[in-house]
Amino acid sequence: MNSTLASTAKNTTAFAAQAAISFGAALFAMLVAIYFMEADPWIKGFLALGTLYLTTSTFTLAKVVRDMQEDSTVVHRLDQARLDKMLAQHDPYKSA
With respect to residue 24, please indicate whether it lies within any of the assigned structural domains: yes
Residues 6+ apart with CB under 8 A from 75: 3, 6
Q: Which domain holds residue 37?
A: 13-89
With respect to residue 4, please indicate whether it lies within any of the assigned structural domains: no
With respect to residue 5, please indicate whether it lies within any of the assigned structural domains: no
Most confident of 11-15, 18-22, 87-91: 18-22
Q: What's the rounded Cα separation, in Å, for the pair 20 and 69?
A: 22
What is the per-residue pLDDT for 75? 77
CB of 49 closer than 8 Å to CB of 30: no
* DSSP 8-state code for residue 12: P
Q: What's the rounded Cα separation, in Å, for the pair 95 and 93?
A: 6
pTM metric for this prediction: 0.59
